[in-house]
Amino acid sequence: MKRHLPLALLVLTAIGVQQLTHATGTAFYLTPLTMAAYYSLVIVGLCLLMGYAGQISLGHAGFFAIGGYLSAMLTTRDLTPYQDNPVLVLLDKLGCTVTGQDMFGGAVLHVHPWAAFACAILITIAVAYGIGIPVLKLKGHYLAMATLGFGIIVYRLVLASPLFGEADGISEVPAFPLFPGLAVSGGFESRVSNYYLAWGMVACAMWLLANLIHSRVGRALRAIHGAEDATNAMGVNTARYKLNTFVISAVLAAVAGIFLTHYNGGIGPSEAGIMKSVRYVAIVAIGGMANLWGALVMGSLLNIMSLRGMFGSYDDAVFGLILIVIMLFAPRGLLGLSLPQGLKRLLKRGE
Amino acid sequence: MLRIKNLEAGYGKLRVLKRISLHVNPGEIVTLIGANGAGKTTLLSTITGLVRATAGEIVLKGQNIETLKAEKIVFRGCSLVPEGRQVFATMSVRENLVLGSYVQHRQGKEQLREGIEYIYDLFPVLRERKAQLAGTLSGGEQQMLAMGRALMAKPALIMLDEPSTGLAPLVVKNIFRIIERLREEGNTVLLIEQNAKAALKVADRGYVLETGKIILEGQADELLANRDVQRAYLGRDVKEN
Ligand SMILES: Nc1ncnc2c1ncn2[C@@H]1O[C@H](COP(=O)(O)OP(=O)(O)OP(=O)(O)O)[C@@H](O)[C@H]1O
Ligand SMILES: [Mg+2]
């Protein structure tokens, strides 16, 4: 019962906020709120990986970008020149394509967003396993370095590849019709439905993750964090647990990337940047590492502030600074903070 | 119960275990004594699959386990209380115990509760501290927790790596009493110790390991009386010449 209380609170808050914006005529807030929800999805996934399984990743913006970019590319690229390609014919038969019109009224052929979604997720899973199997053998700084390397590769790839629009990114990404009556799009008229969709997904993710953490699996994960060999000696397949957690968090990041890209109607290389990964890590740290709800609260707040431009052009600097300050004063997160203790620590250090 | 034949293992090029053979019969306490660096921990790590054997056989309850992964070996009924305890510091005492029963996941809630009660009876101090984080326990309490955690798996064979290290004499006595009690209840124990005297006193049989080789084996009381053992491990200076 105790476990469902925060979830109920989340749902009520989401509804309350929407009602508030409606009542005060500030519905424009719903846009950053929706975007923040998707970023929160990345953050809670990363929180599972970092806080519970104890594996750091400085490459999660990479997974976000893989999802977003693949979906954007597949749903915007005109496939008419390849119409006779047998693969495309098959896709067509399976109903995985859509025809549309370009700016000049010419007929164009795209991959259907659902097919693009499936493709992007499958590739994310493949990449996550491919990266995870060798990399998760590493620990601490080495793991951080390796995932950082992965993040840099993704960033440079999208920046260099014409397929992904180089420095401009991909725009004109169409809406994603999830099912009749609900599409992921940034359109004015679907602002409320998209707000609820995004936060509904966050609630689902929280429900799943909270259950996972309180299960036998979650207990094993927390143990891995403490003493890996000892956990292994308890009969826990630690390698597989770490890997699967890594993949789950990668998929959450990719899903967030896909949805946010369709919501925004585009994606640019900054989404793949290292500073994005650092930001996710910083937020998980502020939330208190092994604290899903802390990560969610902090993630929503900071992302909304950032999206509203409150940090101005010092956006990235702010998150870097936050990371340093948290590590110094409140390694257990802002919510677990007791200020006198933090000061004492610092004074001791100075001695 | 456990039979090891010509086992070799090491780290990279370093050969630590050299043609080790030993066995543990059901219901007995067997102790393995040896100096620092003799390879005792390496032997246990090899049995539990954390270190790979390069040659030889490890047979547990009639089945070869030397190629199995660590987590599979626990499922076969062999639990380790590691050197230095390695309790899960950020989890409560009770959670540590629940995790110990990881391989017993088919048991119901009731059986789990009974299992935990059994451990609390064995180590009453753990009951008093069940909600406390394991990392904040004293050394002796952590050792008891590590033992309780291993017992939660209901192992056929329990292996202890230097359970008495760093503990006060009274606590050591208590630990050895519990090891004896484990045998009385039908458990099989492989006990690794530096504290050779105490170990040989509770054990049925013993082996002496020196630089990766078994150099002596015998009934515990024989070993206790053995001059070489006395000189090397019991700190008794036996004058020769
Ligand atoms: N992870 C490792 N990598 C490389 N060498 C190791 C490793 N662990 C142990 N060794 C070496 O293997 C040898 C045996 O070590 P082991 O830990 O098995 O000794 P031990 O008998 O348990 O000693 P102690 O009583 O001090 O615990 C030592 O020479 C040690 O340096
Ligand atoms: Mg040792």
Asked whether the predicted pLDDT for residue A16 surpasses 50, the reply is yes
Q: What is the pLDDT of residue A103?
A: 63
Q: Which of A152-156, A195-199, A314-318 has the lowest mean pLDDT?
A: A314-318
Q: What is the pLDDT of residue A286?
A: 85
Asked whether the predicted pLDDT for residue A348 surpasses 80, the reply is no
Architecture of domain A4-350: Orthogonal Bundle (1.10)
Asked whether the predicted pLDDT for residue B56 surpasses 90, the reply is yes
Asked whether the predicted pLDDT for residue A351 surpasses 50, the reply is no
Can you tell me whether residue B132 is helix, strand or coil?
coil
Question: What average pLDDT does the segment B213-241 reach?
Answer: 77
Domain B23-52+69-77+155-241 has CATH 3.40.50.80: no
Q: Are A235 and B91 within 8 A, CB to CB?
A: no
**Sorting pLDDT into bands at 50, 70 and 90, what band is A334?**
low
B34 lines ligand 1 (CB under 6 A): yes
**Sorting pLDDT into bands at 50, 70 and 90, what band is B240?**
very low
Question: What average pLDDT does the segment B15-28 reach?
Answer: 92
The partner residue sitting opposite B95, judged by closest CB among A219, A235, A236, is A219
B39 lines ligand 1 (CB under 6 A): yes
Per-range mean pLDDT, top range of A38-42, A323-327, B31-35: A38-42
- The pLDDT tens digits of the residues spanning A63-85 come to 999 999 999 999 888 777 777 77
Question: What is the ipTM score, two decimals?
Answer: 0.80
Question: In residues, how long is chain A?
Answer: 351
CA of A227 to the centre of ligand 2 (A): 17
Ordered by start, the domain boundaries in chain A are 4-350
Asked whether the predicted pLDDT for residue B23 surpasses 70, the reply is yes
- The pLDDT tens digits of the residues spanning A268-311 come to 999 999 999 999 999 998 887 878 888 898 888 888 888 888 88
Q: Give ranges for CATH 3.40.50.300 in chain B.
A: 23-52+69-77+155-241
**Sorting pLDDT into bands at 50, 70 and 90, what band is A337?**
low
Q: What is the pLDDT of residue A343?
A: 57
CA of B161 to the centre of ligand 1 (A): 12
**Sorting pLDDT into bands at 50, 70 and 90, what band is A201?**
very high
Q: Higher model confidence: residue A105 or residue B101?
A: B101
- The pLDDT tens digits of the residues spanning B156-183 come to 999 999 998 888 888 889 899 999 999 9
Q: Higher model confidence: residue B174 or residue A336?
A: B174
Q: Are A226 and B75 within 8 A, CB to CB?
A: no
